[in-house]
A and B are shown apart, each in its own frame.
Chain A
Amino acid sequence: MIDLLRYPFMQHALLAGSLTALGATLVGFFLINRGMTFACHALPNIGFAGAAGAVLLGFEPVLGLFAFILIAALVFAFLGGEHRERDIGIGVVMSLALGLGVFFLASYSGYAQRVYAILFGSILGISAKQVLASAILTLITLAAMTILFRPLLFYTVDPEQAAARGLPIAFLNVVFMVLVAVTVTTSVQVTGALLVFALMVAPPAIAMRLSRRPGAIVALALVLGQIIVIMSILMAGMSASWPVSFFVAALSFLGYAGLRTVQALGSTFGREGRTWKA
């Protein structure tokens, strides 16, 4: 395993993976509390269509990825209506985007490997330049989230009060959705579009079952995200043919399901499972 760490590709993967996980878990915490978990699953899949379109037109796939995710995130942020209708809307937009992706992919006569990398992730093949890019994007995300943490939390917990106190709701919404688009795009590199959900939502979901205080939840989620990503990359590196995204999904599932089981057992012995609810 020490040998493995000497390879530049492993160093790049670990660095980019752990940086990305910082932003992803932080944004994921707010996505859960705003009831946008389905959107979090849909956005990367929508981005896939953008990436396929960009390849077809001869642009960098990541540009198309980001553009589609950003547009969809802004649309989802302002989707009104009750929960059920919003979910249907998200589902329909997602299938339309995936259909477009299929169309772009089928129309592209060249080598579509780059598009498949978007679906399945490519962290073990990441270049030094891409590591630098994810470092810069993570820094921006972390800085913005630090500044916006309190107003965003206020707005998430009690949107009506926040509006009454004169918080710039529309501005907050737009900035948050830009951050969502940035973190989803960088997360796609690590886990692939199909599995961004596990990276963004599982660590805060586990943390929310362990504590009630927002600060503690976020700190725990950041640590859990780091553990999951670093372990996944190391395990994938050692196994050679098993993908990183599988380990991210499996570790998230085991962590969450294990905790639920322990808490269920605990509550039958008279102790309540603790959860923080927005």
Chain B
Amino acid sequence: MEGMIRSELFANAMLGGTTVAVVAAVVGYFLVLRALAFASEALTDISFAGATGAALIGVNPLAGMVVLGLGAVLCLGQFSERMRGRDIEIGIVLSFAMGLGVLFLNLYAHSSASHAAAGVGVLFGSLMSVSVEDILITLALGALVIACLVVIGRPLLFASVDPTVAEVRGVPLRGLGVIFLALLAIATAISVLMIGILLAVSLLLAPAASAVNFGRRPFATIALAATFGVAIVWLGVTLEFFGPWHHVPVGFYISFFSSFLYLISLVWKRLISGSEVRQPAHADREVSHHSHG
């Protein structure tokens, strides 16, 4: 009986984790190209406020995260279509969201004795306790994000790599930027649901950043990033369920393997291809290729 429940939990965790890994890696590729590492960190903190606020008023945390994330994106999108060089604005919005999250969590934890440990799940994630509905919603949202990226992928790539030329060619930079941030907000929300606020960034950032160090052509790089993400999640989930330390949450394994992978990719880049930065150049070539043909 217990074994059956365990294997069902394991299957759920694998399914949810795999979805999140693929979505995070694909979104992450554009995130790395657009230098949005700090903005994605901010979105996870905004998710913190969303999840805790939703818990406080008795709504599904995922709904709270998506709604607040999209709201924040619309606000931040007013400043500029690209978040680059906007560190102070992002940081202050991030802090405010984090402050709200801390407040909501505090109020929620004090509202009932059974809620006292609520913070742990939100901060560090809980693949073990993800419900079937959550997984279905994650699948649906993940499919939505991927579908949108398939549609806007090519112009987005162009706009990310060479905004000046893209603008001249009539690519709507601001619109694309805001749409991408909205997709990032959704991807962040489902990642947070699986591995928690504090570690969602490792799944968004590291697989894609490593793939960019290894890969050459955009499509192959995205595929590599997704493969890295899925492998890391499978390793993490398997170790959480069957590993030597049963109490260690999956987030630890995911952050550990992600960082390790990124380190290897850095060493690889230095050793094989010299220290020059050739990644934007290759993407540029790819894009202009297609837009000419």
Residues of A within 8 A of B (CB): 32, 35, 37-38, 40-41, 45, 82-85, 87-88, 90-96, 98-103, 105-107, 116, 119-120, 192, 194-195, 197-198, 201-202, 205, 241-243, 245-250, 252-253, 256-257
Contact = CB atoms under 8 A, between A and B. Distances in A.
Contact of B201 (A83, A95, A250): A95
Given A96-B255, A98-B199, A205-B88, 5 more contacts: A37-B88, A95-B259, A99-B202, A119-B123, A246-B100
Nearest to A255: B92
24 contacts: A38-B38, A41-B91, A41-B94, A84-B32, A84-B35, A88-B32, A91-B38, A95-B255, A95-B258, A95-B259, A96-B256, A99-B251, A99-B253, A100-B252, A100-B256, A101-B198, A106-B245, A116-B119, A194-B45, A194-B98, A195-B102, A242-B107, A246-B100, A253-B93
B248 A103 contact: yes
Nearest to B35: A84
A253 B100 CA distance: 11
B248 A197 contact: no
Q: Which of A102, A106, A120 has the most CB of B within 10 A?
A: A102
Given A87-B35, A102-B124, A245 B41 contact: no
Contact of B198 (A82, A98, A250, A256): A98
Interface string B34-70: 0101101100010000000000000000000000000
A45 B255 CA distance: 14
Interface string B11-49: 000000000000000000000100101101100010000
Interface in B232-263: 245, 247-249, 251-256, 258-259, 262
Contacts of A249: 95-96, 98-100, 102
A92 B249 CA distance: 18
B205 interface: yes
B154 interface: no
Given A92-B202, A98-B198, A100-B252, A197 B103 contact: no
A3 B92 CA distance: 33
Contacts of B45: 194
B168 interface: no
Given A37-B87, A106-B247, A205-B88, A88 B205 contact: yes
Contacts of B145: none
B222 interface: no
B103 A243 contact: yes
A201 B92 contact: yes
B6 interface: no
A275 B39 CA distance: 23
B106 interface: yes
Interface residues of B, number: 47
Nearest to A86: B37
Interface string B107-140: 1001000000001000110000000000000000
B272 interface: no
Contacts of A90: 37
A101 B94 CA distance: 21
Nearest to B202: A95
A91 B248 CA distance: 22
Contact of B252 (A94, A106, A119, A195): A106
Contacts of A99: 199, 202, 251-256, 259
Contacts of B107: 241-242
Contacts of A35: 87
Contacts of A197: 91, 94-95
Given A99-B251, A197-B94, A83 B99 contact: no
A201 B102 contact: no
A194 B42 CA distance: 12
Contacts of A103: 248, 252
B273 to A, nearest CB: 14
B103 A92 contact: no
A245 B251 contact: no
A177 B107 CA distance: 36
B202 A198 contact: no
Contacts of A95: 198-199, 201-202, 205-206, 255, 258-259
A87 B38 contact: yes
Contact of B99 (A87, A88, A245): A245
A32 B253 CA distance: 33
The CB with the most chain A CB atoms within 10 A, among B94, B247, B256, is that of: B94
Contact of B106 (A32, A94, A241): A241
B37 A88 contact: yes
B151 interface: no
A120 B262 CA distance: 30
B87 A38 contact: yes
A92 B41 contact: no
A91 B252 contact: no
Nearest to A99: B255
Contacts of A82: 277
A245 B102 contact: yes
Of all A-B residue pairs in the complex, the 3 with the closest CB atoms, nearest first, are A249-B99, A99-B255, A95-B202
B28 to A, nearest CB: 10
